[in-house]
């Protein structure tokens, strides 16, 4: 192998949307070709709110896995105001539910049954703290008075400090962080507070949403931010700080749902996720930091063993297709029709 090849311990994706049915079957191989495990988001319709629903969803994911591929779905429960401490005890005992996901009601795709008031979940947080079950947070306020670009910093300021004070041992992950404020909060927080970072937030700033016209395929939530925030995310991702780990937030939506008068939020990256992260780390001169971010920090945070197999990336540019199949309907993947510098050796 040339010095341009890069071999890593097989990585995991700590924030992934797999959906269900034909769409699940279409997207799962993109993730499983590279990642050994993924934290699977519970925002189905209806959401995955109980251990029984998570068990059935896990079985559907495993049934959709093509023969010869190995992949372990790490399930999550969708937190609602009806979730009970008993649900948490059951989740903890299940062995396959690894976290609980908090969506502020209405914050993003399929978040209608989310939480309106964090205080209402305090008995559940108490149980999660006791059972060491991590709370995964979509960290944005939904207050319509708050500027859409400020919703994450306002969440950090209004809610995170309080949560950390009231539940000093609760394991927390601030998901898909997008701002300097979130990055600094997690950097300065205790070791049981972590954050995932997506490829789009490392590679793009908000100009991508308006490049030559309105670009619905660059719209996700939390929305892309200005360049200084992107730089702050690159800095923490490549710093070696174990609080930051890979979470693609790959979120498939059919082309027609994104190219609409009210286009939905979500960027699909599973077809090229590790390759895109490699680009971002290389641009920062930090390829040597990619393996820990992609393959060690998340497993260590979740208390799971690190993977033992490896993957190899080759410096061989390839062109991303204009469309991918989303189970009978087309979807537009990140970087569609454009070149990516790295290719996964398969």
Both structure tokens of 130:
């006791």
Distance between CA atoms of 7 and 247, rounded to whole angstroms? Answer: 20
Question: Are 185 and 232 a contacting pair, CB within 8 Å?
Answer: no
Is 105 a residue that touches ligand NCD (CB under 6 A)? no
Q: Which is nearer to ligand NCD, 152 or 181 (CB)?
A: 152
Q: 187: which DSSP letter?
A: H
Give the side-chain half-sphere CA count within 13 A for 324. 23
Distance between CA atoms of 283 and 276, rounded to whole angstroms? Answer: 11
- Stretches 111-119, 186-194, 195-203, 245-253: which one binds Zn ion (CB under 5 A)? 245-253
Q: Which is nearer to Zn ion, 6 or 186 (CB)?
A: 186
What is 109-160 written as a DSSP string? TT-TTSBS-GGGGHHHHHHHHHHTPPEEE------TTS-GGGHHHHHIIIII
Nearest to 97 by CA among 115, 79, 77: 77
Is 109 a residue that touches ligand NCD (CB under 6 A)? yes
Q: Which residues contact 201 (CB under 8 A, 6 or more apart)?
A: 176, 177, 178, 224, 225, 230, 233
Q: Which is nearer to ligand NCD, 251 or 311 (CB)?
A: 251
Q: Output the residue with the shortest Cβ distance to Zn ion.
A: 249
Please give the positions annotated as active site. Answer: 249
Give the side-chain half-sphere CA count within 13 A for 113. 16
Is 152 a residue that touches Zn ion (CB under 5 A)? no
Residue 316 CB, nearest distance to ligand NCD (Å)?
A: 30
- Residue from 10, 12, 14, 17 binding ligand NCD (CB under 6 A): 17
SS3 for 194?
A: strand
Q: 46: which DSSP letter?
A: S
Binding to ligand NCD in span 269-328, by CB under 6 A? none
- Residue from 72, 140, 249, 275 binding Zn ion (CB under 5 A): 249
Is 249 a residue that touches ligand NCD (CB under 6 A)? yes
Residue 268 CB, nearest distance to ligand NCD (Å)?
A: 9
- Residue from 30, 37, 58, 138 binding ligand NCD (CB under 6 A): 138
Distance between CA atoms of 128 and 169, rounded to whole angstroms? Answer: 10
- Stretches 225-233, 246-254, 287-295, 325-333: which one binds Zn ion (CB under 5 A)? 246-254
Annotated binding residue at 176? Answer: yes
- Residue from 89, 118, 257, 265 binding ligand NCD (CB under 6 A): 265
Q: Name the one residue in this structure whose structure tokens are 């009601």.
A: 105
Annotated binding residue at 17? Answer: yes
Question: Are 20 and 57 a contacting pair, CB within 8 Å?
Answer: yes
Binding to ligand NCD in span 20-39, by CB under 6 A? none
Is 43 a residue that touches ligand NCD (CB under 6 A)? yes
| Interaction partner, residue 220 (ligand NCD, Zn ion, none; CB < 5-8 Å by kind) | ligand NCD
Q: Which is nearer to Zn ion, 138 or 230 (CB)?
A: 138
Report the residue count for the chain.
Answer: 346
Binding residues: 15, 17-19, 43, 101, 138, 176, 221, 249, 253, 265
Q: Which residues bind ligand NCD (CB under 6 A)?
A: 17, 43, 108-110, 138, 220-221, 249, 251, 265-266
Q: Which residues bind Zn ion (CB under 5 A)?
A: 249
């Amino acid at each position: 192998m040339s010095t341009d090849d890069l071999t890593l311990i097989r990585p995991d994706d700590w924030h992934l949307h797999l959906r269900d049915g034909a769409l699940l079957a279409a997207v799962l191989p993109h993730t499983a070709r590279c990642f050994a495990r993924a934290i699977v988001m519970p925002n189905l319709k209806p959401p995955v709110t109980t251990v029984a629903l998570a068990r059935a969803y896990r079985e559907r994911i495993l049934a959709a896995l093509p023969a010869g591929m190995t992949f372990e779905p790490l399930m999550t429960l969708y937190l609602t105001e009806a979730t009970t401490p008993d649900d948490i005890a059951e989740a903890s005992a299940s062995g396959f539910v690894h976290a609980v996901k908090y969506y502020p009601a209405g914050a993003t795709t399929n978040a209608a049954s989310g939480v309106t008031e964090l205080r209402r979940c305090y008995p559940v947080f108490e149980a999660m703290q006791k059972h060491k079950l991590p709370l995964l947070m979509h960290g944005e306020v939904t207050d319509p008075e708050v500027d859409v670009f400020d919703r994450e910093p306002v969440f950090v300021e209004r809610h995170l400090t309080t949560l950390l004070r009231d539940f000093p041992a609760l394991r927390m992950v601030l998901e898909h962080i997008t701002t300097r404020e979130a990055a600094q909060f997690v950097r300065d927080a205790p070791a049981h507070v972590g954050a995932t970072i997506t490829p789009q937030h490392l590679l793009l700033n908000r100009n991508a949403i308006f490049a030559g016209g309105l670009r619905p395929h660059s719209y996700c939530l939390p929305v892309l931010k200005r360049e200084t925030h992107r730089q702050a995310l690159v800095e923490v991702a490549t710093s070696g700080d174990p609080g930051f780990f890979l979470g693609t937030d790959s979120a498939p939506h059919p082309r027609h749902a994104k190219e609409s008068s009210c286009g939905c939020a979500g960027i699909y990256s599973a077809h090229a996720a590790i390759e895109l992260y490699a680009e971002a780390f290389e641009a920062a001169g930090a390829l040597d930091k990619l393996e820990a971010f992609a393959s060690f920090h998340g497993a260590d945070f979740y208390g799971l063993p690190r993977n033992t197999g490896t993957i190899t990336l080759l410096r061989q540019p390839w062109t991303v297709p204009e469309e991918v199949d989303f189970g009978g309907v087309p979807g537009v993947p990140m970087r569609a029709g454009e070149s990516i510098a790295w290719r996964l050796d398969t």
